[in-house]
Structures are given as C-alpha cells and as structure tokens.
Structure 1
Amino acid sequence: MSTTPPVLAAELASAWADIQRRHPELPDLAAPESLIGESSSACGAELSFERLLHEAVHGVAAARGVRDTSRAGRYHNRRFLAIAEEMGLEHADEPHPSSGFSLVSLTPEARKRYRTTAERLQRALRAHTAATRTDTASSFRGPAARHGSSGGGVRVKAVCDCGRNVRVVPSVLAQAPIMCGACGKQFRIPEVMAVG
C-alpha cells in the first residue's frame, strides 16, 4: 500500500496526538502508512489502538535512548515493559520465550482514558478494511495460499476461555478450529478492542 486513505491517516494522527498529550516526549508520527501494512511490525499484531499505544512505547523508548528490544526487535525486555506500564499497558504473565513482554494489553484505566479515541480509530480501521477488501476468488495470492499454507502472514493472539493463548495466522484459524488441549474449547481471536 503506497498511501494511507485520508480518513484513516487523520484518525491515526489524531490518536497519536492524544497519546502525545499525555506523554509529551513521544516523537511525532512521521508515516502512518508504516503501521497499516500486514507485516509492518515485528510485534506481529494487527493495527488497533492498543497496537498504536504499543508502538508509542517504542517511540518513547527511542526518545529516551532506551534499548527496549533485542533479537532484531522481536524480544521486548523489561525496559519496554516499564515504559509500557507508564503508558497504560500491562503484561500479566511471565515473558514469552521468543517475544518477551510484547503481548501487552490496555489497563482498565487506559481503556477508559482513551475510549473515545479508540472508538474513532476502530471505526476508521473498519472502513479502511471494507474499502480495501478484494475478491480473493479472482485475485492471485501465490502458491502458499493455493496450497492452504498461511504464507507466513502476521500472527495474532488467539485466546481460550481457560486463559491459555497461542499466536496464529488468522487465515489458519479460519480454515478450522484450533482446540485447547487443557480444556477442549476453541481458541478465538478476541475483538480488536472491546470498549465498554
């Protein structure tokens, strides 16, 4: 994607500015389109307000000169987590062996604080997704898609009601349910952000 649709770009800029009001050391968002591509982040999560705040943590870390990741940006260390907690994100579990503390989520306080901003961004993202959806039956998607492979797409967190989670490419989960070995229920991809 070469350009970001004007409405989405404006909502991304507005959401980023809202974060900057609370965290003035956060640098300006130079290229909103870098957040939109499917594989634009080593963090491997689809774009949402929570992901935007995650990226803002990296921005604050850069402004402070803090090295918050290792392993080519995949492993998020305790310095990342400390800044994330300052900015309204939390990580309830032990670090993941390969991604560390990357799977942060909004605290209840941050969810409330950013509710209006998050809702506006989510509406713009839904409109963008609807506008860019293509007819996959007549589109060439490459050999991986033809053979049922995920094609190395971005993995997102799928959760089970018992509290376990896995990282999965959404198209793989769409092919057939993935069942939890602990409780027998299906893993599911939660709403991008259920504000409430």
Structure 2
Amino acid sequence: MTGATDTRPAQTITEKLVAALTAAWREIQAQHPEVPDVVLTIGSGTLGRRGGETTLGHFARGRWQMAGDEDGGPELHELFVSGEGLRRGPADVLGTLLHEAAHSLAAVRGISDTSRQGRYHNKRFKALGEELGLEITEHDPNVRGGGTLGWSRTALAPETAGRYAGVLEQLAAAMGAYRRAEVPGAAGGKKSSNLAVAECACPRKIRVARATLELAPITCGACGEDFAAEDDGEPDEE
C-alpha cells in the first residue's frame, strides 16, 4: 500500500538477544582461543524441573550434526541459555557463559570436570573457571543439596568485568525481556500443594509455595536477604 509506514521495531527481542549472546561468546573465544564454536539455543530452564529450580545454562558436546553429514564430520557443540536466567542481569549472564566456556575447555582438553550426571563440579572445573576469569566457590555441603554440586558457584571477577565492558553493555541493551518460569498446574492440571521451607540469613524460616518463590524474591525485613528454599541450593549452571 502506497505511503504505508512500517511500525515494526528495527530489531526484535530475539534478534537482539541472539546477537548479544553470540557476540559475547565470540569475545570469550577472542580472549581464550581454545574455546570452541557452539550452536546457541535459548529456551526454558524450568520446564520439567521442580518448583524453584532453574537451569541457567548448559554446554553439550557434539549435540548437533550438519545436515546431510550422517557419516560423521566435525563436532557441533551446543550452548544452552535459559530465558528465565536473563532476569539476573548482564554480569550474571556473562558469568553463566564463562561457566559454560569452562566446560567447553574441559571437553576440548579431555578433562573430566564433573561427576554425578554432570551436577558435581570438581576442582579441575574450579581451575578452568578461574582461568577464564571467574570466582569459583564451593557450595556448602552442610546445606541440603549443597554436597551434590561441588565447586559450581560462579561469580564474575571485577577485573574480568572490566575486560568485557563492551560485552556487558551490549547484553544490557539486549536483555529487555526474560522468560517467566513454568508454574506447576498453571495449564489446568492439579496444582502442587507442596510448600517449601525457605530460610533467610537471620535465620528465620517461612513456609511458602515453590511457585511463589520462583515468581519473585521474598525479602526478609530484618536482615534484608531473600528467603531461599532449603533444598533448592542455587540455580544450576551445568
């Protein structure tokens, strides 16, 4: 139609996210040339998980195959980033990418960095994460579930944030939306009546539906810390 105005955005949310996450991985490769190429996927990190649990990211070796190349060919690795994890902000998302890059280095170098179906992160993973500029700490084994995760708590070191300043800016500009968590029973099925026991730093305890904890943080007015379900630990970066 003559004179019609195209009111569509110049770039969709999907395009911005894919471009920013791809650029971030490319910059990681530029600083650490052993990190391999990946096929980027973005999806649900809560589908099929218990209420309150989220998979933030995952590296899967050789998960993809070139079309028409059924007889072999180069490995195509997968990098999964959860839509729910985007709510945490650019520094934490970059931390997840570097966490998965550490797993990719382990795959390239033939290092066994996890056990227990990939959940327990050992000290070899810790060393790889620190090589990439992460601060890696151990989950408290005295907290329920903490002993199964090992050295997987990930934070971006301050000097690393400085090296990736441009990446963080691009991620911040692209992360204009995040995926809502899957809520058990929301599609018409039977809703779970299982309440979680959540604890703050005081420590005080409350009982609350896991779905409620997942939808938004509940902050203690005394200590200022968020309540966390006792058996959930931290979100998974596999």
TM-score over 0.5 (shorter chain):
yes
Q: Which whole-Å CA distance do the structure 1 matches of 2:54 and 2:113 have between them? A: 12
Structure with more helix by fraction = 1
Give the conservation status (yes or no) of the 8 Å contact 2:201–2:223: no
* Structure 2 length-normalised TM: 0.55
What is the CA distance between 1:49 and its match in structure 2? Answer: 1.2
Name structure 2 gaps, 5 residues minimum: 1-12, 48-52, 57-84, 87-92, 141-145, 204-209, 229-238
Aligned sequence identity (%): 33
**Kindly tell me: are residues 176 and 6 of structure 1, through their superposed partners in 2, closer, same or farther at Cα, counting changes over 3 Å?**
closer
**Kindly tell me: are residues 93 and 102 of structure 1, through their superposed partners in 2, closer, same or farther at Cα, counting changes over 3 Å?**
closer
| 2:128 counterpart letter in structure 1 | I
**Kindly tell me: are residues 185 and 7 of structure 1, through their superposed partners in 2, closer, same or farther at Cα, counting changes over 3 Å?**
closer
Q: Spell out the pairing of 1:1-196 with structure 2 (5 A cutoff).
A: 5-30=14-39, 32-33=40-41, 35-39=42-46, 44-45=55-56, 46-47=85-86, 48-93=93-138, 96-127=146-177, 129=178, 140-143=186-189, 146-147=191-192, 160=201, 171-172=212-213, 174=215, 177=218, 179=220, 184-187=223-226
Higher Rg of the two aligned structures? 2
Q: Which whole-Å CA distance do the structure 1 matches of 2:157 and 2:119 have between them? A: 23
Higher relative contact order (CA 8 A, sep 6+): 2
- The two structures, once aligned, show a CA RMSD in angstroms of 3.9
Give the conservation status (yes or no) of the 8 Å contact 1:90–1:104: yes
Q: Which whole-Å CA distance do the structure 1 matches of 2:131 and 2:200 have between them? A: 25
Name structure 1 gaps, 5 residues minimum: 151-157, 163-168, 190-196
What is the CA distance between 1:118 and its match in structure 2? Answer: 1.9
**Kindly tell me: are residues 176 and 89 of structure 1, through their superposed partners in 2, closer, same or farther at Cα, counting changes over 3 Å?**
closer
User: For each residue in 1:78-130, what CA deviation from the matched residue of structure 2 results, as whole angstroms up to 9, or x when unmatched?
Assistant: 01000000000112456641111111111111111112202312332324x2x
Give the conservation status (yes or no) of the 8 Å contact 1:161–1:185: no
What is the CA distance between 1:174 and its match in structure 2? Answer: 4.6
What SS does the corresponding residue of 1:104 show, helix, strand or coil?
strand
Q: Which whole-Å CA distance do the structure 2 matches of 1:74 and 1:49 have between them? A: 20
What is the CA distance between 1:62 and its match in structure 2? Answer: 0.7
Give the conservation status (yes or no) of the 8 Å contact 2:95–2:156: yes
